[in-house]
Structure 1
């Protein structure tokens, strides 16, 4: 995304949040601006090109009014509508609109009754007790607000995996162009694909005599807004991209493997390795593996060499958390983890029939050009999801017919007719069995009423004859909303008993099921599905994030349903089949 597109998308997103704050009839404007913001983020070229070619209206979600706003932004750097709204909407509170415990109505009350205008004001009002004096802001409400602020603070201090990967690649790119850099890679928790990342760790193989040139590039104003420290082996900066810390460590090429293993971590994994090495008469460090007696260097150029000298099988980075992987490696029993190349299709996405940006035909064309999939499933929202422009029952029948037409044009049964059907408060589904029976793929998800008996609702959905998969099973939004209360063990048992799949949702804010629950589901024999929940073109690349979660859960291709041909998926999710393996 270009810098100009990024600024424009941010303003449009803020406009959407402002209209959400205002509420009422402004909700439709909010949806329009948020949709346009997402579309701008997905553009392959700078917005100026679309303006010059007169194709701005072809951008999904952009009508006459939004086109005028975009032209004004291009001419002046701002949008008058945005500046005017800032005079009546407390812009400092907008970042809390989607935070648990807040929302537009609560924020309005705080602004109008207590005159708070920022997140800092809210924190102060919570501490001094003013908020508890407001009607409707009892202990439970205040507790939810405090928990929401805590989650929000965590995300301020850490990056989502997707954001960290993007920032890391921007730092790596110029380093990899230097002939002095023999190899450069992302290390740390980012390489292990943790869901949130603190500081970035980069490792580069560079000869000592060449390191000053590499340091100059890494600390240039293009990459660094501030240099924290620099030396012959380590450089620390605050990134120009986002103000977060990034550390570059430089090693000799002969030390690459030992250093890459050491700076990948985790800390607990490395402590266990050092203990194992000591018991075998070795010492291990970022420089290599040595004999303890005479400090003779035995290995260090590759990670594989290092693990081999310890009598172990190579351990993939995603498994290195000291949760039994070392014991498995000593037995040479590390599984072959699922890879992105194993994925044969994507089974949750949304078109412009509900809240997606593209038509079904556009989605098919994009996927066929950029992925080697055998099938995809359109799973638009049902009527209860009003904010997501959920479809009425009869619209699904029309969509099924359009899916048939698209497949006829394709000459193959590539596009599957599906739905992401809401699980209602009583566990009933938001589509009749008559329509569900005509769909190829049904994902059932909870989108509202999170305080109700979620476990019973999810189990009841599993028991429905037409539900193939439970979508984002715990409902969390990283940094915004905790997982809703659900008995994971009971859900896993129901999934196994009914042959219902559980989803690993690849959206960066979800990654749900999280790795530890996905691991439990895998061990129980649950069918797992990795989906992107795509709403726009760029979202389809989130499949790699979902695969990362699956690898952290020790999943092989056999554990993942959408690594299989479609006819196998149909067999495995027909009620009565209990597991993938």
Structure 2
């Protein structure tokens, strides 16, 4: 069965987790995590690179040893280093890592301090209130673990949007090459740009003799065929992702696309509007009695109920019907609207490319500007900049701007917000920058009141420009810290600073609902890649999808401005 980049990355992440539980050298652990990140964000298929004889050691963070392991996994589907770790540690311990809120550090503590290495043992320890006694846990953490265990028991696994893309898009492309196939669209929550998807729905129109269903079930990544009919099929891929295929007639294509895109609540609302007009709307079309009056396009479905086309990202029954009826639908921001990126890292801290390489990659994408925002000294794990090194980088950026053409580097920093709300670098140095991106990287467990006050105090700093990844969450890995986000948004309006929508696929932070709230308050949002390599600008497509779910238009996004228009907006916060 073919191996995708995401599969190799998952193996490297598991190796890193197990090494961390075992207590291995932190640099060794980090090497696997960096390699996993590189593979997740690589725009090319590693298998194709190997087939073409390319040198994988030229990829960021990949040396000879890791390149050899990538080849081993791509060719065999296994990794001897991981098998060896599985033999050394309890076999069920990896199941603990799948529980939200339990990263390798906490699993390590549970394993070494309480001898917990199965989910059942964890459940008993939670029930007996033994977790709260561990250093760094406490009653609140124990309660969250209990909630995560309950949620895990009651639901199926989900895939991050960017991970699902690695499986859905090649399959869709393969189906487009099948004889007789006309249209192929990935629908469902994937099309709505949900941050995670439970399964994949693919919609196809094809000629009567097309072998599309046979080709679908024979796809080389199919591990199990759940059903196989002439117009409907369902399979499970080797990665455990379920894919459902529907073959529809051209006259029903729009109705089926609307139906299978969802959401369920949105579809019910549209059907209700149809019923008020004496119409029946289903996946086959729009009917008045027995006569089909629409359904060949999505526009015809909306038109039948008196509405304009509603973009898929808005279809959550969160006011889009009323907005469409009143002619107030937003003209949503698009990827091509972005003129720059205000949060990237280089080799100076934990990035993989030089200043010049990042600048050239941004210029090739048509960007007009790029803000270099290294970590500050508090984040030692990322080799954060102290005052001397930041001053040196400021001078280096000034020199490079004198040489670059078609792109301007902005001087910035991703400065840690300390527990008491102070920023991690001196004011006189922050004053030399074009922008200051404040971020919480520690003490996630603070109470709602203390966490909120911490951030509010930081935002009052005269040089504060932008709040990075405002909730601190990592999707399905770390819950957001407890913070009063409406107060944060109101403070940004009062202070005249901005909020980030971090486009990294593990973050997608701001939440879409808070994007709407920021828009309502007139607070600009910056859609940033948080790039650590030239490959990471690809994150922006997912950030823009999240922004669209949050109803953001071009004017609501800070970095859609030209450099001339952006500079005054940055300057007023400094």
How does the TM-score come out when normalised to structure 2? 0.90
Structure 2 CA distance for partners of 1:414 and 1:120, relative to 1, 3 Å: farther
- After superposition, the Cα gap between the structure-2 partners of 1:267 and 1:372, relative to the gap in structure 1 and judged at 3 Å, is same
Partner of 2:29: 30
Matched, 1:444 2:438: yes
What is the 5 A alignment of 1:139-150? 139-149=139-149
**Contact residue 223 and residue 236 of structure 2 kept, 8 A:** yes
The residue aligned with 1:515 is 512
Match of 2:223 in 1: 225
**Structure-to-structure mapping, 1:139-178, within 5 angstroms:** 139-149=139-149, 157-178=157-178
Alpha-carbon separation, structure 2, partners of 1:476 and 1:511: 9
Cα displacement string for residues 340-379 of structure 1 (whole angstroms, at most 9, x for unaligned residues): 111111111221211112222222222333x111111121
Is there any run of 5+ residues in structure 2 with no aligned partner, and where? none
Q: Does 1:303 align with 2:301?
A: no
**In structure 1, how many angstroms separate the alpha carbons of the residues matched to 2:4 and 2:329?**
46
Q: Please show how residues 177-196 of structure 1 align to structure 2 within 5 Å.
A: 177-196=177-196
**Any idea what SS the aligned residue of 2:224 has?**
strand
Displacement after TM superposition at 1:316 (Å)? 0.8
Tell me, what secondary structure is at the counterpart of 1:534? coil
Moved more, 194-203 or 231-240: 231-240
Whether 2:414 is the aligned partner of 1:420: answer yes
- What pairs up with 1:278-317 in 2 under 5 angstroms? 278-292=275-289, 295-317=290-312
2-structure distance, mates of 1:266, 1:4: 29
SS in 2 for 1:157: coil
Alignment match, 2:488: 491
Alignment-derived partner of residue 200 in structure 1:
200
Deviation, 1:256, is 1.0
Deviation at 1:335, TM superposition (A): 1.9
Partner residue in 1 for 2:107: 107
Closer/same/farther in 2, CA of residues 552 and 449 from structure 1, 3 Å limit: same
User: What secondary structure sits across from 1:348 in the alignment?
Assistant: strand
Distance 2:262 2:132 in 1: 48
Give 1:339 shift. 0.8
**Partner SS state of residue 32, structure 1:** helix
- Shift of the 39–482 alpha-carbon distance from structure 1 to 2, 3 Å rule, reads closer
Task: Measure how far apart 1:146 and its partner are.
Answer: 2.4
Alpha-carbon deviation of 1:187? Answer: 0.9
- Residues 553, 120 of structure 1: alpha-carbon distance in 2 compared, 3 angstrom cutoff: same
Match 1:382 to one of 363, 376, 381: 376
- Residue 88 of structure 1 and its aligned partner are, at CA, apart by 4.0
Deviations, residues 462-500 of structure 1 (Å, cap 9, x unaligned): 222222110111111111222111111111111001111
- Which has the higher mean CA deviation after the structures are superposed, 43-52 or 260-269? 43-52
Say if 1:538 and 1:148 are closer, same or farther in 2 by CA, change over 3 A. Answer: farther
**Which of these residues, 203, 209, 214, is aligned with residue 216 of structure 1?**
214
| Structure 2 counterparts to residues 89-128 of structure 1, below 5 A | 89-90=89-90, 92-94=92-94, 96=96, 102-104=102-104, 106-112=106-112, 114-127=114-127
Could you tell me whether the CA contact under 8 Å between 2:334 and 2:554 is conserved in 1?
yes
Contact 1:51 1:71 in 2 (8 A): no
The residue aligned with 1:466 is 463
CA contact (8 A) 2:463 2:573 kept: no
- d(CA) in 2 for partners of 1:484 and 1:441? 25
Aligned-residue offset at 1:118 = 3.7
Whether the 8 Å CA contact 2:372–2:412 is kept in 1: the answer is yes
The TM-score normalised by the length of structure 1 is 0.89
Q: For 2:195 and 2:272, locate their aligned partners in 1 and report how far apart those are by CA, in whole Å.
A: 28
Query: Aligned to 1:372, which of 363, 366, 369?
Result: 366
Q: Distance in 1 between matches of 2:66 and 2:169?
A: 32
RMSD, aligned CA: 3.1
d(CA) in 2 for partners of 1:480 and 1:392? 30
The offset of 1:308, in angstroms, is: 1.9
Structure 1 residues 172, 480: CA separation in 2 closer, same or farther (over 3 Å shift)?
same
Relative to structure 2, which stretch is displaced further, 109-118 or 552-561? Answer: 109-118
Once the two structures are TM-superposed, the CA of residue 250 in structure 1 deviates from its matched residue by 1.1
Deviates more, 1:468-477 or 1:536-545: 536-545
Matches of 1:68 and 1:180, distance apart in 2: 41
Name the counterpart of 1:234. 232
- The 1:394–1:90 alpha-carbon spacing in structure 2 relative to 1, beyond 3 Å, is farther
CA distance in 1, matches of 2:201, 2:65: 44
Q: 1:50 to 1:274 in 2, by over 3 A?
A: closer
**Residue in structure 1 matched with residue 390 of structure 2 by the alignment:** 396
User: For the Cα contact (< 8 Å) 1:506–1:543, is it kept in 2?
Assistant: yes
Cα distance, 1:524–1:372 mapped onto 2, change above 3 Å: same
* CA displacement at 1:105 relative to structure 2: 5.3
Q: Tell me if structure 1 keeps the 8 A contact 2:96–2:117.
A: no
Superposed displacement of residue 338, structure 1: 0.7
